[in-house]
Structure formats: C-alpha cells, structure tokens
Chains A and B, each alone.
Chain A
C-alpha cells in the first residue's frame, strides 16, 4: 500500500526456532485479557475482581479445577482428532459426530450385556471398561474413516461429509436416549441410563485415567510426526499432495489412515465425557452442548500449529477460561455470552500473533522516481 511518499509493505520474517513461536503465546494471552476487560465493565465490583473470579474458579477452586481438568481432557482428545488429519492437509470437521458415536458405542457395551444400574457385571468390570474404551475408539474411527474413504477414493469433500455426519449422529443420539429409545433412562427424562457404579472409569488421584491416555497420546503423536516414516509421509502429503504421489506415497492409504486415527481420538473423547467424568456417567439431555464444545478442538489444533504437545497447555487454558468466564458471568450478573466472547478474543489474538511472528509490517519511504513524460524519442535498435 502506498500513502504519499511512503509505502506500507508486509515482509516475511526469517524462520526462527519453535521455542520462539511458543513464547509469542504469552503476549497474545495478555492482550486478549486486556481487551476482554471491556466485557467485564458491567461487573458491579470492577473488572479486576471479575478476572480474579475467572482464574480462581478455573484453576484454584477445587470444584472448578476438577471441571477444568475434565473439560481439558475432552479438548485434548478432540484437538488430536482434528490435528492428525490436518497434518495430511485434510479437515476433520466431524468432531461432534465422532464424539456422539463414541459415546453411543461405549454405552452399547453395558446395554448389550443387559446390565441395569444395580446388577452385577457378568465378568470382570475392568474388561467391560476396556471394551467400552475400545468400542468408542473403533466407532469414532469407523465414522471418520467413512469420510476418509469417500475423500480418498471418490474425492468427495471431507468437510461436507463430516459436517453432515454430525447432523445425522446428533439425531441418532436423540433417538437412542429420548422417548422410547433403547438407551433411555428408567425415569424417561430424555437422558440415557446411568452406568452401574462398577463401570465407573478408574480414577488416578481423582482424575479419570483418560487424562493419562491423552497425555501419552500427545507425546506419541509428536514422535510420530517427527521421527517416523509414516509421520513423514503424512506431512509430505499434507504440504504437497503432488509431490507425495511423485514420491510413491499412496494418497488413498494416507487419507484413510489419518481419518481412522483422528476419529479414534474423537470417539475416545465421547467415552471420556459421558462415561469417565465423575458425576456424569450417562449421556445427558444437553449432549449437544458437548458436541459444540468439541469444535474448540479445531481452534486449539490450529493455534498449536499441528503439534500435539503444544496443544496441551492451549486446550487447558481454553477449558479453564470457558468454565471460569461462565462462572463469573453468573457471579457478577454479566451479560450472556461473556465466556464465548472471551474465547473469541483469545482466538483472534493468537492468530494475530502468529501472523506478526511470520511477517512484519514495514513503513518506508518510496524511492522518488520522476516519471519522464518528455518526448525522449525511441532509441534505435
């Protein structure tokens, strides 16, 4: 852009180590918080106390912290579900559908074993829990794999397919748990049956074992992408599909594989929220809220730029702030939607920080060059 004798241009910055990238996150968070002080202006006690409420509920209050951790585990798994296909250049927008199908598969296990709330398990409950976990992952993988197959074999857009599957699965859950559905609770309140206590997921220091699964998975995923041949092939395919084909990488296999792997994580996320979080142990009537929450996996994955370990703190922050802001909203009678606005601001500052990290805006004078308009006569050849 040119203004008078000055020119405003964008210049690419030279590439820098990944650690620097991580450090840019801090000013982004601070900026988002500064901007969101406008949101807290209506708070009766001033915005500083609103901030204190947000953070102390999310990360210091025992109830709040527990909820934050449960939500973070869910977001971690959803983030990985998005991130694996993204490394192959494919968009898994079907996180909610895969979460639902994972939950349905998990609850299908006790249903098939005809275990009511009080009956004794027919065999070791640990084995049943394992079946639930595996079932949820397989179901998520199968659903996403469907989109992956269509993409790989027929070049059907994976975004459209996964979005439509979300809708189909949303109503399938409604059918299963609402009036007369097979999974309906005994009280018929539009929820699924409660899991028998013997099938409650084991806790490690009060935290569901799914946390351990998610954290180990984060490490393994980064290892996959950095150290293994398969990870290399996925990255090449994602960055340049034509080069991948040239190099003998099978596009069908890669497309299918990333969706199978991604879907397995989303299915596991469904298991986690509905069968492993203390106090839930059922598919609640407002399951759609958790489906929408799964979309934050996309944002965390994008902000972390494809690194699973990088997504861990980001998802934790998103989980905490979404809960803390909702709490503060109730506490200080703030307008509805403050939590969403805060997360939105955070997203924007993260994106802006990435942009400013890669480019710089330069403001410099234009070399004055008079345009000769006098008849100069064309020189002879």
Chain B
C-alpha cells in the first residue's frame, strides 16, 4: 500500500467538517468513510474522476442527500441537514452543474426568486439597489435587466453565484463550474473567486476534475477515488502529475495481469486522422490514428472530457466525424449507419447505462432485444421470435450472473451492476469482432468489476479486438495489450503494455509528451 501524503491538520478549527460520511446507493458504495475539513476563507478543491463520489458528497453537504453514516459539523457544532433549506439557513449555498434559472425572466427576477425577503409584495426598486450594491462590492458587471436566455453560459453562472451571495451565502459549493465555460470565461471566474475569498471572506468548495484550475486557485485539495479520500494536500505542495496519480490510482500491487496467451490475429480496425466536434461545436477529437488486430485490447486512458466520448460515438456511428476515416475488416465504414455496424460485427457498450444502453420501463427480454431485433434469427417476416428472445435472455441472465426477479421484470428494477451485466452480456452474445467498451465497470462494486473484466478478457481470447476506454488506470494496465493515453483529443503515445507503467501513463494523461514523461 502506498502512503498518502496527508498534511497534518492545522490547529485552526474548520468551518465545515464531515466525519466518516458513508453513502450507499443500490449496488453502489458511493462514499466510504469520507472526512473533509473546509476552513474559513479558503478555496477547497474536491478533485476526482467521474463517479468518484464528488457530487454525492456535495449533495450531502448541501442537505440534498442524507448520509447513511457519519456526521457534519458547522463551526464545531454538530448539524443535521434535513433539506437544502437547513443548509441555506447556515449560509451554505450550491451552484449546480446544470443551470437552475428561469430563462424567460430577467437577471434581477432570478436573483430574488426564492429569497426569504420576497414573500408577498415585491419592492423591486429596493431589491435592485441592494443587488447593485452587492455587484459593486464584489466587482461584478451583470446587466440586471437582461433576460437570462440572452446571457452566455459564463454570465448565467454569475447570476447563480450572485443569487447565492444575495441569499447570504458564506460557503459557496460550485459543482464543476467550468464544464460549460469558454477559456476566457474560466479565467474571469477564477479571478473573481479569488477576489471573493480574499477580500470578502467567502469560503468556496470547488468540485472539479480539471487539474489546471485546482493548481491555479485552490488552497487545499481533497482527492476522491471510488468514494474514498485518497489524498489531502495543500495545493502549494502538489503538482498536476501527483494529483493525476491520486485520481487514477497507482496501487501497483493490485495488478492481476491474466496472461491468457492469445495469438495476434489479422488487422481488423484502422482509424486514420479521425476528428470530431463535441455537442458544443468544439473540435474535441483531433486527429487520432491507430490500428487494432484481432485478439488485442487497446486501452485508452484519459481524464474525462479529452475526446474519448467523441471517439467512441464516431466509431459506433452515432456522431459524424469532422475528418478522417475508419476502416473495418478492410471496408471503409466511416459513414455507415449504427445498424450496419451492428450487422458487420461491431459491438458497443456505452458508458451511459440508463440513458443510452437500456430502456427503463421495458422488460429484460425487450432490453435484450435492443441488440437482436434486426437479426433474422429473432425477427421472421416482421414478427418477433419471442421464444428465441426469451432463450437468449435466459442465457444472458445465467451466464452473466444477473440477479433479476424474472425475465419480464422492468429494467429499472435492476441495480446498476446487474443492468451492466445484462448490457455487456447482450453485446457479447452477438460475438462481436470489434468490441467498444466505454467505462464498462464505472461505479460498480468489486465483484461485478472483476467479473466483467474477466468477460472482456474472454472476448479477447475468443478473437475479438477490444477498444477499452476507461478512467481507471488499474483497469487499463491490467487488461490492455496497448495503452494510449489521450489528452485534449490526441493520443499522446501508443505504448505496449510492457513499456507502460502507471507513472508514465499518468503523466501523459496530464498532457506531458513522450520525452517529458521519460519515455524514449
């Protein structure tokens, strides 16, 4: 076990403290005995990958969720938040990842919405004066008369922060505040947060997975991984590289490289200079080139939002590429429909189990049919072959150890792990030649994770080429034949597994090039 560099707590008493917070969701341990100390007047960064438990922890601090175990302390007193109402009363306010504004209303109207002083009659003139004073004090320039729909994402965020401050917030929780901002907006935000903290004594808890922001403005950083705190550091003592390693894990001892001897087959997939735009119109996949043989696993390692999502979607036919091409089995498939790709033997396990890979209110049989409805075996003359589908579903449930009440239970009644087993089983039951697995084990418990990793190796042994996209470096390094760290839409390198160690790959995930990362 590696020792984490915990700094000794300073004698000064924390403003907000959490002790031994544990939170379980069905099938998932979201937080496990988490301690957190936030001191008055600091910017405290909470860092972690998607699914590390950051947002859950913040929701507990804000009273949206109640912990299963553990306590919260405010100014040294034990507190119990039954709802955000209790947290707001103590001056704790949260700016969520998604905007919660009324877009047809003006900025001023949004700011006073929900303010305790606005019951009954509105004295807009007094409120406007108060808000203007507040803007002046904190150095904000927001047009209070503008309608919210006219504002940029950055300005909307201002309105939310202003709203929190007008509501008397002393502790601001910002959940991924930069995820929708442009670089100049990020700069402004960082400068203003620093001003808020230094000049006005506001305390900020900043939840993010963006390293540069953490190192630039935070005073203290707590790193979460898989629901546990893995490091507490003063930012001045941390480097981006060190933080990446905490985020992704470097527990070398846990590597269990199962050396299934698989003979490398013929080349199956060739991707050439592939680029794609994300939903906001930013070129976020920027010229990726690689090839993959049968019986090989290529692990793409990266921090969320570096182009992995776009790469996967382009390969699955769900997002048009901006340039480049994809050759599969010697055929140009760049513009093929998703259906044709399924038919050709490309199997795709999306990261979004609930949103994309399943339909909550359909039965397990119908969910299994998502990958079979076009197959002549299961659809004869337009009629569904129900017995055949039942048989396949039963096979998946037993071979993938899905705990389900019965074949015709609705998918929403399955836990996350069992649903994922059903999805993986369904895709693998097609015996795909190419398997694209995006975050296949994210948020799952140890048993399900180990089981599904074994299934990926089995698929490889069966001759499938596997593209594994994961944020968990342990997973990448224990399964892959090739490791490709991705940063800002480009592969930093493609390393053979023997040449890839956690430190090198971690450094590359933080954007360091080959030479800088110490690879010749």
Contact = CB atoms under 8 A, between A and B. Distances in A.
Interface of A: 15, 227-230, 232-233, 235-236, 239-240, 242-243, 245-250, 369, 371-379, 381
Contact of A376 (B13, B73, B374, B379): B73
A246 B382 contact: no
Nearest to A373: B77
Interface stretch (B108-116, B155-163, B355-363): B355-363
23 contacts: A227-B383, A228-B382, A228-B383, A229-B383, A229-B384, A230-B382, A236-B362, A236-B366, A236-B370, A239-B360, A240-B355, A242-B352, A243-B358, A243-B370, A245-B318, A246-B338, A250-B337, A376-B76, A377-B76, A378-B13, A378-B17, A381-B9, A381-B35
B411 to A, nearest CB: 10
B19 interface: yes
B73 A246 contact: no
The interface residues of chain B, by DSSP majority, are classed as: mixed
B78 A372 contact: yes
Nearest to A243: B359
A248 B338 contact: yes
Given A230-B382, A245-B318, A378-B14, A369 B80 contact: yes
Contacts of A232: 366, 369, 373, 384
B359 A248 contact: no
Interface in B68-90: 71, 73, 76-80
B80 A242 contact: no
A375 B79 CA distance: 10
Contacts of A245: 318, 338
Given A229-B384, A230-B382, A248-B342, A243 B76 contact: no
A243 B356 contact: yes
Ranked 7 nearest A-B pairs via Cβ: A248-B339, A247-B370, A229-B379, A376-B78, A248-B338, A240-B359, A372-B78
Given A228-B383, A229-B382, A376-B73, A246 B369 contact: no
B192 interface: no
A35 B506 CA distance: 70
Interface string B371-412: 101100001001110100000000000000000000000100
Nearest to B408: A15
A375 B337 contact: no
A169 B355 CA distance: 39
Nearest to A230: B382
B373 A378 contact: no
Contacts of B73: 376, 378
B79 A242 contact: no
Interface string B339-369: 1111000001010100111111110001001
Contact of A235 (B13, B358, B362): B362
B316 interface: yes
Nearest to A226: B384
Interface string B10-25: 0001100101000000
A378 B70 CA distance: 12
Contact of B357 (A246, A250, A377, A381): A246
Contacts of B76: 375-378
B80 A371 contact: yes
Contacts of A246: 316, 318, 338, 348, 350, 356-357, 370
Nearest to B348: A246
Given A229-B379, A246-B356, 5 more contacts: A239-B360, A240-B358, A243-B357, A376-B77, A381-B19
A230 B341 CA distance: 20
Contacts of B19: 378-379, 381
B272 to A, nearest CB: 24
Contacts of B341: 248
A353 to B, nearest CB: 20
B373 A229 contact: yes
B384 A248 contact: no
A99 to B, nearest CB: 29
B77 A375 contact: yes
Which residue among B78, B318, B358, B369 has the maximum number of chain A CB atoms within 10 Å of its CB? Answer: B78
A249 B352 CA distance: 18
Contacts of A230: 382
A232 B386 CA distance: 12
Contacts of B362: 235-236, 239
B356 A242 contact: yes
Contacts of B340: 248
A224 to B, nearest CB: 9
B410 A15 contact: yes
Nearest to A246: B356
A377 B77 CA distance: 7
B124 to A, nearest CB: 31
Nearest to B375: A229
Most chain A beta-carbon neighbours within 10 Å: one of B71, B73, B77, B359: B359
B3 to A, nearest CB: 15
Contacts of A248: 337-342, 374
Nearest to A377: B76
Contacts of A247: 338, 342, 370-371, 373
A240 B360 CA distance: 9
B80 A372 contact: yes
A228 B378 CA distance: 11
Interface in B1-48: 9, 13-14, 17, 19, 35
B123 to A, nearest CB: 30
B383 to A, nearest CB: 6
Interface string B409-441: 010000000000000000000000000000000
Nearest to A235: B362
A214 B141 CA distance: 64
Contacts of B339: 248-250
Nearest to B352: A242
Contacts of B382: 228-230
B384 A228 contact: yes
Nearest to B355: A242
A248 B379 CA distance: 15
Contacts of A242: 352, 355-356
Nearest to A233: B373
B384 A236 contact: no
Contacts of B79: 371
B287 to A, nearest CB: 26
A373 to B, nearest CB: 6
Contacts of B369: 232
Contacts of A239: 359-362
A6 to B, nearest CB: 15
Contacts of A372: 78, 80
A379 B37 CA distance: 11
Contacts of B373: 229, 232-233, 247, 249
